[in-house]
Amino acid sequence: MNRKIIFIIFISFIYFTSFIVAAPALALDLPLIRRVATPTAVATTPGKLIKVIPPLQKIAVFKGNIEGIGNNYLAVGGKKVNFDSKTKLFRKFGGKSEISEFSVGDGVQVVGLWTSDAKVEVNARLIRNFSIQKRYGVFIGTVKSLKPETAELVLSTLRRGDQEVAPDKNTKYVDRAMHVISFEKLRVGDRIRVKGTWDSKLNQIFEVTQIKDYSIPEKVSVSSPSAQQ
What's the pLDDT score for residue 31? 43
pLDDT tens for 52-85 read 566 777 999 999 999 999 999 999 999 999 999 9
User: Do the bridges between strand 134-147 and strand 152-157 make them parallel or antiparallel, or are there none, so unpaired?
Assistant: antiparallel
In contact, 205 and 186? CB cutoff 8 Å: no
Q: Does the pLDDT of residue 98 top 50, yes or no? A: yes
List residues bridging with 65 in a β-sheet.
Answer: 107
pLDDT of residue 5: 61
Q: What are the backbone angles phi and psi of residue 114, rounded to the nearest 5°? A: -65, 145
pTM summary value:
0.57
Output 134 or 179, whichever has higher pLDDT: 179
Among 192, 196, 216, which residue's Cα sits nearest to residue 205? 196
pLDDT at 209: 98
Q: Which residue has the higher pLDDT, 158 or 201?
A: 158
Domains of the chain in start order, with CATH, are 56-129 (2.40.50.140), 134-213 (2.40.50.320)
Residue in 146, 176, 182 with CA at minimum distance from that of residue 164: 146
Across the chain, mean pLDDT equals 83
Provide the 8-state DSSP code for 101: G
